[in-house]
Structure 1
Amino acid sequence: MEKTRSQYEKEKIMTLFKQMALALSLLIIIILGSVMAINYETAKEDMLESLYQTTVNNISSLTNKLSETGGEPAVITSIIDSEFDSGYYKRIKFISNDASFKYEQVDNDPIENVPEWFVNFADIHLKPVTADVTSGWNIIGTVTIEADTTIVYESLYQISRKLFYLFIIFVTVSLVLLNILLHYILKPLKRIQHQAEAILNNEFVIETKEPYTTEFKEVSHAMNAMVKKVEEIFNKANEAAKRNKELLYNDPVTKLYNRRYLMLRLPELLTLETKNQGGSILLVALNGADILNKQLGRKDADAFFAALAQNFIEECEDIEEKVIARVNGTEFTLMLPDCESYLSESIARSIFECFLDLADDHGVDTSVVYINIGIYRYRPGVSISDLLTRVDDALTKAKADERQHIYVYEEKNEKNALPKEQWRNILEESIEKNYFSLKFWPTMDVKTKTVNHKVMTFTIDDGKDKQFYYGDFIAPAINLGLVGKMYLVTLKDLLTKRHSELTGTICSIRLSNEFLKDSKAFEELSKLFYHYGKKLDFKLSFEVADSFAIHNTATVKGFVDLFKEYRYGFGINAFSGESNDFHYLKELNPEFIKADVSFLLDQTEESMNSLEVITKSLGIDLIATFVKDKQELETLQKLHIDKVQGPITDTF
Structure 2
Amino acid sequence: MSFKSNILIFISVMLLVLLVGTFGLNMSTTQAFLKKQLQSHSYDTANSLGLSLSAVADNPSSAQTMIDAIFDRGHFAMIKLVNMDGDDIYMRTNPSDQIDVPAWFIGLVDIDIPTSHAVVQKGWMPIGKLQVQAQDGYAYIELWLVFKSLVQWFLFAAAIFLSSAYLAVLFLLRPLNKAQQQAHAIVNKEYILQNPLPATTEFRQLAGAMNGMVTKLQQVFTREAQVAEKLRAMAYQDSVTGLYNRHYFDMTFNSIVDAEQASAKGSVCLLRINGLKELNTQYGYQLGNELVKHIAQKFRQELALNDVIFARLNGIELIAVLPNAEADVLRSKVESLLTYPSSLQQELNLADMPITLTSAIARYEPNESKSSLFSKLDFLIQQAEIAGNEPVQLQQENSHNGFNNKDWQALIDRAIVDQRFKLFKQEAYGIDNSVYDSELLVRMVAEDGKIQSAAYFMPAVEQLNMQSKIDELVLQLVTTHLQKHHSSSHHSINLSKALLIHAELFEQLLPKFQQAQGANLAFEFTEAAIYEHLDTAKAIFNTLRKLGFKVGIDRFGIQVADLQYLKEIQPDYIKLDASFSDQIEVDNSTGSYVNSICEVASNLDIDVFAMSIEKETQLKAFQQSGVTYFQGYYFSTPIPL
Which TM bucket (shorter chain)? 0.7 to 0.9
Match of 2:297 in 1: 310
Q: 1:145 to 1:27 in 2, by over 3 A?
A: closer
Match of 1:324 among 305, 310, 322: 310
Query: Aligned runs of 1:155-174 on 2, under 5 Å?
Result: 155-174=142-161
Match of 1:615 in 2: 601
| 1:167 counterpart SS class | helix
Give the deviation of 1:126 after TM superposition: 3.7
| 2:241 counterpart SS class | coil
Match of 1:353 among 315, 329, 339: 339
Q: 1:220 to 1:315 in 2, by over 3 A?
A: same
Give the deviation of 1:147 after TM superposition: 0.4
- Distance in 2 between the 1:438 and 1:128 partners? 101
Query: Aligned runs of 1:44-59 on 2, under 5 Å?
Result: 44-59=31-46
Is 1:512 the counterpart of 2:501? The answer is no
Match of 1:266 in 2: 253
Match of 2:390 among 375, 382, 404: 404
Q: Cα deviations across residues 178-213 of structure 1 (Å, max 9, x unaligned)?
A: 344334433333443333333222234444544444
- Of residues 239-248 and 319-328 in structure 1, the stretch that sits farther from structure 2 once superposed is 239-248
- Distance in 1 between the 2:71 and 2:10 partners? 54
Query: Aligned runs of 1:116-265 on 2, under 5 Å?
Result: 116=102, 119=105, 123=109, 125-127=111-113, 129=115, 131=117, 134=120, 143=131, 145-149=133-137, 151-207=138-194, 209-265=196-252
Q: Cα deviations across residues 285-320 of structure 1 (Å, max 9, x unaligned)?
A: 345655555565544444433332222122123x23
- Distance in 2 between the 1:489 and 1:46 partners? 90
Q: 2:264·2:455 contact (CA, 8 Å) conserved in 1?
A: no
| 1:520 counterpart SS class | helix
Give the deviation of 1:643 after TM superposition: 1.9
Is 1:335 the counterpart of 2:324? The answer is no
Query: Aligned runs of 1:541-620 on 2, under 5 Å?
Result: 541-562=522-543, 569-579=550-560, 581-596=562-577, 598-599=579-580, 601=584, 602-604=587-589, 606-620=592-606
Is 1:280 the counterpart of 2:264? The answer is no
Opposite residue 49 of structure 1, the aligned amino acid is: K
Q: 1:478 to 1:272 in 2, by over 3 A?
A: farther
Query: Aligned runs of 1:57-136 on 2, under 5 Å?
Result: 57-62=44-49, 78-86=65-73, 88-90=75-77, 104-107=92-95, 110-112=98-100, 116=102, 119=105, 123=109, 125-127=111-113, 129=115, 131=117, 134=120
Match of 2:617 in 1: 631
* Structure 2 unaligned blocks of 5 or more: none
Q: Cα deviations across residues 309-342 of structure 1 (Å, max 9, x unaligned)?
A: 222122123x232111122333321112243334
- Distance in 1 between the 2:478 and 2:145 partners? 66
Match of 1:9 in 2: none
Q: 1:526·1:562 contact (CA, 8 Å) conserved in 2?
A: no
Q: Cα deviations across residues 485-510 of structure 1 (Å, max 9, x unaligned)?
A: 6646766887896687764x765443
Q: Cα deviations across residues 436-469 of structure 1 (Å, max 9, x unaligned)?
A: 877665443214x4454554556689xxx99987
Match of 1:3 in 2: none
- Distance in 1 between the 2:98 and 2:635 partners? 88
- Of residues 486-495 and 83-92 in structure 1, the stretch that sits farther from structure 2 once superposed is 486-495
**Once the two structures are aligned, what percentage of the paired residues are identical?**
24
Q: 1:257·1:326 contact (CA, 8 Å) conserved in 2?
A: yes
Q: 1:321 to 1:37 in 2, by over 3 A?
A: farther
TM-score normalised per structure 2: 0.78
Q: 1:638 to 1:100 in 2, by over 3 A?
A: closer
RMSD: 4.6
Q: 2:595·2:626 contact (CA, 8 Å) conserved in 1?
A: no
Give the deviation of 1:622 after TM superposition: 2.7
Q: 1:195 to 1:288 in 2, by over 3 A?
A: same
- Distance in 2 between the 1:498 and 1:95 partners? 102
Match of 1:445 among 416, 430, 439: 430
Q: 1:59 to 1:576 in 2, by over 3 A?
A: same
- Distance in 2 between the 1:387 and 1:72 partners? 147
- Of residues 615-624 and 377-386 in structure 1, the stretch that sits farther from structure 2 once superposed is 377-386
- Distance in 2 between the 1:100 and 1:69 partners? 17
- Of residues 615-624 and 69-78 in structure 1, the stretch that sits farther from structure 2 once superposed is 69-78
Q: 1:63·1:143 contact (CA, 8 Å) conserved in 2?
A: no
Match of 1:419 in 2: 408
Aligned residues between the structures: 620
Q: 1:143 to 1:310 in 2, by over 3 A?
A: same
Q: 1:373·1:406 contact (CA, 8 Å) conserved in 2?
A: yes
Q: 1:157 to 1:329 in 2, by over 3 A?
A: same
| 1:419 counterpart SS class | helix
Q: 2:257·2:265 contact (CA, 8 Å) conserved in 1?
A: yes
Opposite residue 545 of structure 1, the aligned amino acid is: T
Give the deviation of 1:217 after TM superposition: 4.0
Opposite residue 499 of structure 2, the aligned amino acid is: F
Query: Aligned runs of 1:516-531 on 2, under 5 Å?
Result: 516-521=500-505, 523=507
Opposite residue 497 of structure 2, the aligned amino acid is: N
Opposite residue 552 of structure 1, the aligned amino acid is: H
